A = this chain, B = another copy of it.
Amino acid sequence: MSTILDPWGHFAIEKYEKLFKQFGIQPIDTVLDKLPIKHHFFTRRIVFGHRDFDKWLDALNRGEKVAVLTGFMPSGHTHLGHLMVFEELKYLQSLGVHVKIVVADAEAYAVRKLGRRKVIEYGLEYIRHAIAWGLDPTKTDFYFQTNNTTPYYRLIQMFSRKITKAEFEAIYGEASPGKIVAALTQASDILHMQLKAYGGYKHILVPVGADQDPHLRLTRDLADRFAQELGLRRPASFYHKFIRGLDGNKMSSSKSDFAILLLDKPEVIKKKVMMALTGGRPTAEEQRLLGGEPEKCTIYELYTYFLLRNDEELKKQYERCRRGEILCGRCKKNALKLLLELIKVHQEKYRELLESQIVEKHVNIPDF
């Protein structure tokens, strides 16, 4: 049976390697040389695959007009998983690239069936976190899907002509009105910056989680079908692995016991970290003897993704675990300390943004 990736589902993709073969996603290794700065997300293969990212980097390196578009579904509180995209965007912004972020509020409302007010609240929370994490608000465009301008919406209407129900079902598994409109809206999100009215950026990069690839496949097909009529080009994309929740499954705000929410209080974070799934052995004795299994450990994942940016330090941590020189309790405490520091700084900036109402002034908020 073929694997149908479901961007609306909650699950962890176990074997990312399958994606290379089945859907034609390229391994990230092939572009490492072209990266102007080698961020650890790439060198550690947290960003594991891509489509045409090499071409996009060539355009960047040639000094052509390039842009980044990504988004998020405002269906819950912002958590560590979202930080991955923020980190990627911050990195791309540091390269001088124009960054645009869409709040997929139409999708959260129509597909996830949340209330409009809730969706808008979550959206604003997310935007504040993005800025608190270091995105430059004066250089980042944010918009809500329900609050863009024409001709952005014209693309949705036009796209509907050149995709059949059967093609839609092949990509998404089903073709309900809600999902059709949501998917065509996403395609418009990804492609609209190519229109003159939105800057005419012909080289678009979409950094997302691996589950979002179906949207990219749809969008690339649509770009091909509108190449002549509207001059659209295929977007490039790269894909990161999901950060796992502390239970070892995909992190999700709907399972908040196992997710680090960015506004969690220190004592809550402490509790969650202390309960986290590790790669430890049943007894301390065994662990000293056999060593731990960092590959299985959600705490080691935190080190890899966010807590230890220095490769040497990470390697040391890995080896000490492997050799049984450090037990899980001490390791967790160390991770907790680093995480709390990170979160503290972040939450302070978040609170400043909340008080200054900068986001409310900067972003066009839907009135219903």
Contact = CB atoms under 8 A, between A and B. Distances in A.
Interface of A: 106, 109-111, 113, 116, 145-151, 153-154, 156-161, 163-165, 168, 174-178, 180-182, 184-185, 229-230, 366-368
A181 B154 contact: no
A150 B64 CA distance: 32
A367 to B, nearest CB: 7
Given A146-B150, A165-B175, 7 more contacts: A110-B161, A149-B149, A149-B150, A156-B181, A160-B177, A163-B177, A180-B180
**Copy number in this complex?**
2
Interface centre among A165, A177, A229 (most CB of B within 10 A): A177
B146 A157 contact: yes
Given A147-B150, A175-B177, A109 B157 contact: yes
A297 to B, nearest CB: 40
18 contacts: A110-B160, A116-B229, A146-B157, A147-B151, A150-B153, A151-B366, A153-B156, A154-B366, A156-B156, A157-B185, A160-B180, A160-B181, A165-B174, A168-B177, A175-B177, A177-B180, A180-B180, A181-B184
A175 B175 contact: yes
Contacts of A153: 146, 148, 150, 153, 156
Select the residue from A145, A153, A176, A368 with max chain B CB neighbours within 10 A: A153
Nearest to A231: B368
Contacts of A145: 157
Nearest to A145: B157
Contact of A157 (B150, B175, B176, B181): B181
Contact of A182 (B160, B164, B175, B182): B160
Contacts of A185: 157
A154 B165 contact: no
Most chain B beta-carbon neighbours within 10 Å: one of A146, A149, A161, A229 = A161
Contacts of A110: 157-158, 160-161
